[in-house]
């Protein structure tokens, strides 16, 4: 939709500058966007990033305790007339301490013409959807004929990764999962198996999952020090590893010796390295995920290449998906219009 037409349409439902739409976590999840929609929206954000048609400074953050972070994630994507800020936190011990998610947050969207806030929404769902969409799109670009996928971590992200990956890896037959918590794996299988045609198999241990899977991902915890759960010697030529929890889960040697080390944002990775997140040093970056999706950089060139594609999360994806959530909610009279 043309930006001026879109603004007029929004103005009919919301008095821009005087009102904004508030959406709860539940409302955000119920606007009717399905996996295919999220994949296309996320693809457009990644391609815009690959074409350098965006503005997105590296996350700035505050850290009240060790191992926790709050990040301010602003972005502007002209192609979608989407501008906003995600304010997100990550507290790795939230699930055990408070029975709360590790990651919560809010997304603010603004009107690009006047700058006025248009919407405030819970960011949990948008984060939970756009993150596996990035992994699934990277997997499609880097290893489209994979028949096996291994997922470390069976929490919120693990569940969504197993739901999304079947949409892009069309030859997938087996999904191996592993989590330190048995009940998390039980829950993933109970939730996802009825929704997908591939077989979801509980991995015996990280070694077995690593050795059984052509494409692997991890969504466990992000820590300053690496856990190196997956050993370098278990990883073989031709595998594709797409973590969304930085380098924490993987032996740092794996990324260092990979034929290609692709990242969603080189700037973000350097920023995290400067904060101490790559104690063994940031591996040499080959290119960015969006550049591969936009066709500017090569993905897999040889079957035997070992490729690591680390996606730490980009606000361009949040504002593009969030903008569509906002428009759908407005169209369907969802949420609460609040005075500014
Ligand atoms: N890259 C991104 O854009 C992005 C976005 C959202 C979340 N994340 C990251 O993804 C990770 C998971 O997020 P979530 O919301 O799914 O959290 P979650 O708490 O719902 O799930 C994490 C799961 O990992 C498991 N786990 C922890 N340590 C493990 C280990 N050593 N071995 C195996 N399993 C282990 C836990 O038992 C839990 O089931 C976090 O680190 C989060 O910061 C990244």
pLDDT at 3: 87
Name which residue sits closest to atom 10 of ligand 1, judged by CA: 219
pLDDT at 209: 98
pLDDT in tens, the chain (340 residues): 788 999 999 999 999 999 999 999 999 999 999 999 999 999 999 999 999 999 999 888 999 988 899 999 999 999 999 999 999 999 989 988 999 988 999 999 999 999 999 999 999 999 999 999 999 999 999 999 999 999 999 999 999 999 999 999 999 999 999 999 999 999 999 999 999 999 999 999 999 999 999 999 999 998 888 899 999 999 999 999 999 999 899 999 999 999 999 999 999 999 999 988 998 899 999 999 999 999 999 999 999 999 999 999 999 999 999 999 999 999 999 999 999 9
User: Would you state the CATH architecture of domain 132-313?
Assistant: 3-Layer(aba) Sandwich (3.40)
Q: Hey, which of 220, 247, 311 would you mutate to test ligand 1's pocket, going by the most ligand atoms within 8 Å of its Cβ?
A: 220
Q: Helix or strand or coil: residue 170?
A: coil
Distance 76 CA to ligand 1 centre (A): 27
What is the reported pTM?
A: 0.97
pLDDT at 225: 86
| Ligand 1 close to Cβ of residue 318 (< 6 A) | no
Would you list the domain boundaries of the chain? 3-126+316-339, 132-313
Q: Give the CATH fold of the 3-126+316-339 domain.
A: ornithine cyclodeaminase, domain 1 (3.30.1780)
| Ligand 1 close to Cβ of residue 222 (< 6 A) | yes
Q: Give the span between the Cα atoms of 327 and 10, in whole angstroms.
A: 8
User: Atom of ligand 1 at shortest distance to CA of 131?
Assistant: 3
| Ligand 1 close to Cβ of residue 157 (< 6 A) | yes
Q: Give the span between the Cα atoms of 89 and 258, in whole angstroms.
A: 31
User: Atom of ligand 1 at shortest distance to CA of 184?
Assistant: 39
For residue 65, the 8-state DSSP code is: S
Residues ≥6 apart with Cβ < 8 Å to 236: 211, 306
pLDDT at 2: 85
Q: Compute the radius of gyration of the chain from its Cα atoms.
A: 20
| Ligand 1 close to Cβ of residue 127 (< 6 A) | yes
């Amino acid at each position: 939709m043309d930006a001026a037409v879109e603004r007029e349409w929004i103005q009919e439902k919301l008095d821009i500058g005087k009102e904004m739409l508030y959406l709860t976590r539940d409302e955000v999840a119920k606007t009717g966007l399905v996996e295919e929609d999220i994949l296309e929206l996320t693809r457009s954000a990644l391609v815009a990033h690959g074409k350098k048609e965006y503005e997105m400074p590296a996350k700035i953050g505050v850290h009240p305790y060790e191992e926790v972070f709050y990040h301010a994630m602003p972005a502007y994507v002209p192609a979608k007339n989407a501008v906003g800020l995600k304010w997100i936190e990550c507290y790795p011990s939230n699930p055990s301490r408070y029975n709360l998610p590790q990651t919560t947050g809010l997304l603010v969207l603004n009107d690009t013409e006047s700058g006025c806030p248009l919407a405030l929404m819970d960011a949990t769902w948008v984060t939970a959807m756009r993150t596996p969409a990035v992994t699934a799109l990277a997997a499609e670009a880097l290893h489209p004929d994979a028949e096996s996928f291994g997922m470390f971590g069976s929490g919120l992200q693990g569940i969504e990764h197993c739901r999304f990956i079947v949409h892009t890896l069309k030859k997938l037959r087996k999904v191996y999962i592993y989590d330190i918590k048995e009940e998390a794996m039980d829950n993933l299988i109970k939730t996802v198996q009825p929704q997908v045609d591939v077989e979801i198999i509980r991995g015996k241990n990280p070694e077995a999952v690593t050795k059984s899977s052509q494409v692997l991902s991890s969504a466990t915890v992000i820590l300053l020090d690496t856990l190196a759960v997956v050993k370098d010697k278990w990883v073989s030529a031709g595998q594709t590893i797409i973590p969304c929890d930085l380098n924490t889960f993987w032996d740092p040697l794996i990324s260092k010796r990979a034929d290609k080390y692709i990242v969603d944002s080189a700037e973000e990775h350097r920023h995290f390295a400067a904060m101490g997140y790559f104690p063994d040093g940031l591996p040499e970056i080959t290119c960015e995920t969006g550049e591969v999706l936009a066709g500017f950089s090569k993905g897999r060139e040889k079957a035997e290449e070992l490729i690591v594609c680390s996606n730490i999360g980009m606000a361009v994806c949040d504002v593009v998906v969030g903008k569509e959530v906002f428009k759908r909610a407005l169209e369907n009279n969802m949420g609460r219009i609040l005075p500014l």
